Amino acid sequence: QVQLVESGGGSVQAGGSLRLSCAASGRIFSITNMAWYRQAPGQQRELVAYITNGGSTMHIEDVKGRFTISRDNAKKMVYLQMNSLKPEDTAVYYCNAIVKTTAWSRLDTYWGQGTQVTVSS
């Protein structure tokens, strides 16, 4: 199957930076979109940013100018550089990938286990 493993979370003060990484492994034929979501306590999971396999990106308004998503297709990795962090960015961050496991399989969505980001004021 397919595994997504995030790393890079932690605790920082407001204004600080963190870089999240996510490595995809397993039976992978191709990966289309990769994305980062986050879920704050008591809130629904929300999309933060996504990147296509061609490198086109989208960032939600709340993080524009502060966060940058990128990917390394050869390494099957996606990153989220987070600068100027705010307490409201505190959440569990999840990696997401849309994957074909074989040339003829359908596209399936996979999730990582999540990594905690805590920003203190």
Tens digit of pLDDT at every position of the chain (121 positions):
999 999 999 999 999 999 999 999 999 999 999 999 999 999 999 999 999 999 999 999 999 999 999 999 999 999 999 999 999 999 999 999 999 999 999 999 999 999 999 999 9
CB-based burial label for 39 (10 Å; 0-12, 13-18, 19+): middle
How many angstroms separate the CA atoms of 48 and 39, rounded? 10
b/e 2-17 (16+ beta carbons within 10 angstroms → b): bebebebbeebeeeee
Strand order in the sheet with 77-82: 2-7, 18-26, 77-82, 67-72
Q: Which residues are CB-contacts of 88 (< 8 A; sequence separation ≥ 6)? A: 40, 62, 119
- What is the residue whose two structure tokens read 């600080």? 16
